[in-house]
Amino acid sequence: MKVLCSLVGTLFLGLVLFPSLSGAQHAHGVETKNEPMKMKMDAREVLVEGVKITFTVMDNNEHKKMLQDMKMKEDIEPDTTHNITVTLKDENNQKEITDASLSMKVIDPNGKEQIKSLKYEDMMKSYDAYFNLTEKGKYQVLVLVKKQDMKRTAGIYYEIK
Protein backbone atom coordinates (compact mmCIF):
# COMPACT_ATOMS: atom_id res chain seq x y z
CA MET A 1 0.00 0.00 0.00
CA LYS A 2 2.87 2.34 0.87
CA VAL A 3 4.50 1.72 -2.51
CA LEU A 4 1.22 2.35 -4.34
CA CYS A 5 0.66 5.66 -2.51
CA SER A 6 4.23 6.70 -3.25
CA LEU A 7 3.85 5.83 -6.94
CA VAL A 8 0.53 7.69 -7.24
CA GLY A 9 2.00 10.71 -5.43
CA THR A 10 5.04 10.79 -7.71
CA LEU A 11 2.87 10.47 -10.82
CA PHE A 12 0.58 13.27 -9.60
CA LEU A 13 3.53 15.58 -8.89
CA GLY A 14 4.99 14.81 -12.31
CA LEU A 15 1.73 15.71 -14.05
CA VAL A 16 1.28 18.90 -12.02
CA LEU A 17 4.87 20.14 -12.13
CA PHE A 18 5.68 19.13 -15.70
CA PRO A 19 2.40 19.27 -17.66
CA SER A 20 4.10 20.06 -20.97
CA LEU A 21 5.84 16.70 -20.89
CA SER A 22 3.03 14.58 -19.46
CA GLY A 23 1.13 14.13 -22.72
CA ALA A 24 4.16 13.56 -24.88
CA GLN A 25 4.92 10.02 -25.99
CA HIS A 26 8.01 11.31 -27.74
CA ALA A 27 9.23 14.18 -25.59
CA HIS A 28 11.87 16.40 -27.12
CA GLY A 29 13.67 16.92 -23.87
CA VAL A 30 17.04 16.57 -22.28
CA GLU A 31 17.66 16.55 -18.58
CA THR A 32 20.73 18.23 -17.18
CA LYS A 33 21.62 18.26 -13.49
CA ASN A 34 18.17 16.92 -12.57
CA GLU A 35 16.44 19.89 -14.22
CA PRO A 36 14.18 18.90 -17.09
CA MET A 37 14.26 21.07 -20.18
CA LYS A 38 11.05 23.11 -20.36
CA MET A 39 9.45 23.41 -23.78
CA LYS A 40 6.11 24.32 -25.20
CA MET A 41 4.86 21.59 -27.46
CA ASP A 42 1.67 19.76 -28.14
CA ALA A 43 1.73 15.97 -28.61
CA ARG A 44 -1.23 13.80 -29.62
CA GLU A 45 -1.49 10.09 -30.33
CA VAL A 46 -3.70 8.34 -32.86
CA LEU A 47 -4.00 4.55 -33.23
CA VAL A 48 -4.66 3.39 -36.79
CA GLU A 49 -4.81 -0.30 -37.69
CA GLY A 50 -2.06 -1.39 -35.29
CA VAL A 51 0.19 1.65 -35.74
CA LYS A 52 0.50 4.27 -33.00
CA ILE A 53 1.09 7.63 -34.69
CA THR A 54 2.23 10.46 -32.43
CA PHE A 55 2.06 14.04 -33.70
CA THR A 56 4.16 16.70 -31.96
CA VAL A 57 3.74 20.36 -32.91
CA MET A 58 6.36 22.85 -31.74
CA ASP A 59 6.89 26.54 -32.40
CA ASN A 60 10.13 27.14 -34.36
CA ASN A 61 11.68 29.21 -31.55
CA GLU A 62 11.18 26.34 -29.11
CA HIS A 63 12.35 23.83 -31.72
CA LYS A 64 15.53 25.82 -32.40
CA LYS A 65 16.28 26.00 -28.66
CA MET A 66 15.75 22.25 -28.33
CA LEU A 67 18.10 21.56 -31.25
CA GLN A 68 20.77 23.79 -29.72
CA ASP A 69 20.40 22.15 -26.29
CA MET A 70 20.80 18.74 -27.92
CA LYS A 71 23.80 20.01 -29.92
CA MET A 72 22.06 19.12 -33.18
CA LYS A 73 22.81 21.12 -36.30
CA GLU A 74 19.74 21.81 -38.40
CA ASP A 75 18.63 24.92 -40.19
CA ILE A 76 15.02 25.85 -39.66
CA GLU A 77 13.28 26.25 -43.00
CA PRO A 78 12.77 29.95 -43.84
CA ASP A 79 9.25 31.37 -43.86
CA THR A 80 7.93 28.71 -41.49
CA THR A 81 6.60 29.03 -37.95
CA HIS A 82 6.27 25.46 -36.64
CA ASN A 83 7.92 22.06 -36.74
CA ILE A 84 5.64 19.04 -36.89
CA THR A 85 7.16 15.71 -35.87
CA VAL A 86 5.64 12.25 -36.27
CA THR A 87 6.72 9.05 -34.56
CA LEU A 88 5.44 5.62 -35.53
CA LYS A 89 5.25 2.56 -33.32
CA ASP A 90 3.92 -0.92 -34.02
CA GLU A 91 1.22 -1.51 -31.42
CA ASN A 92 1.86 -5.27 -31.22
CA ASN A 93 5.61 -5.35 -30.58
CA GLN A 94 6.11 -1.72 -29.46
CA LYS A 95 8.96 -1.29 -31.98
CA GLU A 96 9.46 2.04 -33.68
CA ILE A 97 8.83 2.09 -37.40
CA THR A 98 11.83 3.82 -38.91
CA ASP A 99 11.70 2.81 -42.58
CA ALA A 100 8.44 4.30 -43.82
CA SER A 101 7.76 7.12 -46.23
CA LEU A 102 5.53 9.92 -44.90
CA SER A 103 3.82 12.88 -46.49
CA MET A 104 1.83 15.50 -44.61
CA LYS A 105 -0.90 17.92 -45.54
CA VAL A 106 -1.69 20.88 -43.29
CA ILE A 107 -4.90 22.77 -44.02
CA ASP A 108 -5.16 26.23 -42.46
CA PRO A 109 -8.39 27.79 -41.09
CA ASN A 110 -9.04 29.41 -44.51
CA GLY A 111 -8.66 26.12 -46.43
CA LYS A 112 -5.17 26.78 -47.83
CA GLU A 113 -3.06 23.60 -48.04
CA GLN A 114 0.62 22.92 -47.45
CA ILE A 115 1.90 19.49 -48.53
CA LYS A 116 5.38 18.20 -47.70
CA SER A 117 7.33 14.97 -47.45
CA LEU A 118 8.62 14.33 -43.94
CA LYS A 119 12.29 13.52 -43.50
CA TYR A 120 13.50 10.89 -41.08
CA GLU A 121 15.75 11.99 -38.21
CA ASP A 122 17.69 8.97 -36.99
CA MET A 123 18.81 10.50 -33.67
CA MET A 124 15.20 11.30 -32.70
CA LYS A 125 13.67 8.21 -34.37
CA SER A 126 11.04 10.50 -35.88
CA TYR A 127 9.92 12.14 -39.11
CA ASP A 128 9.46 15.89 -39.41
CA ALA A 129 8.94 18.97 -41.57
CA TYR A 130 8.45 22.71 -41.11
CA PHE A 131 5.16 24.45 -41.82
CA ASN A 132 3.82 28.00 -41.80
CA LEU A 133 0.99 28.28 -39.24
CA THR A 134 0.44 32.04 -39.09
CA GLU A 135 -3.36 32.29 -38.99
CA LYS A 136 -5.28 32.00 -35.76
CA GLY A 137 -7.76 29.17 -35.74
CA LYS A 138 -7.99 25.42 -36.21
CA TYR A 139 -5.59 23.58 -38.53
CA GLN A 140 -6.12 20.09 -39.86
CA VAL A 141 -2.91 18.02 -39.87
CA LEU A 142 -3.05 14.85 -41.99
CA VAL A 143 -0.34 12.25 -42.58
CA LEU A 144 -0.04 9.43 -45.09
CA VAL A 145 2.29 6.61 -44.02
CA LYS A 146 3.57 4.13 -46.62
CA LYS A 147 5.76 1.11 -45.94
CA GLN A 148 5.90 -1.68 -48.50
CA ASP A 149 2.27 -2.88 -48.80
CA MET A 150 1.10 -0.92 -45.73
CA LYS A 151 -0.71 2.41 -46.07
CA ARG A 152 -2.14 4.31 -43.11
CA THR A 153 -3.71 7.75 -42.86
CA ALA A 154 -4.26 9.70 -39.67
CA GLY A 155 -4.93 13.25 -38.61
CA ILE A 156 -5.38 15.69 -35.78
CA TYR A 157 -6.62 19.22 -35.31
CA TYR A 158 -4.24 21.81 -33.94
CA GLU A 159 -5.44 25.24 -32.83
CA ILE A 160 -3.49 28.52 -32.85
CA LYS A 161 -5.07 30.93 -30.39
| Each residue's pLDDT tens digit, 113-150 | 999 999 999 888 999 999 999 999 999 999 999 999 89
* pLDDT tens by residue, 101-113: 999 999 999 999 9
* Domain enclosing residue 147, as ranges: 2-160
Asked whether the beta carbons of 129 and 111 are under 8 A apart, the reply is no
Domain at 87, CATH number: 2.60.40.3340
Looking at residue 68, its pLDDT comes to 76
Q: Which of 89, 102, 104, 86 is nearest to 49 (CA)?
A: 89
Q: How many domains are there within the chain?
A: 1
CA–CA gap between residue 87 and residue 44 (Å, rounded): 11
- The terminus-to-terminus CA distance of the chain in angstroms comes to 44
* pLDDT tens by residue, 5-64: 333 333 333 333 333 333 333 333 333 333 344 446 679 999 999 999 999 999 988 878
Note the pTM of the prediction, 2 decimals.
Answer: 0.72
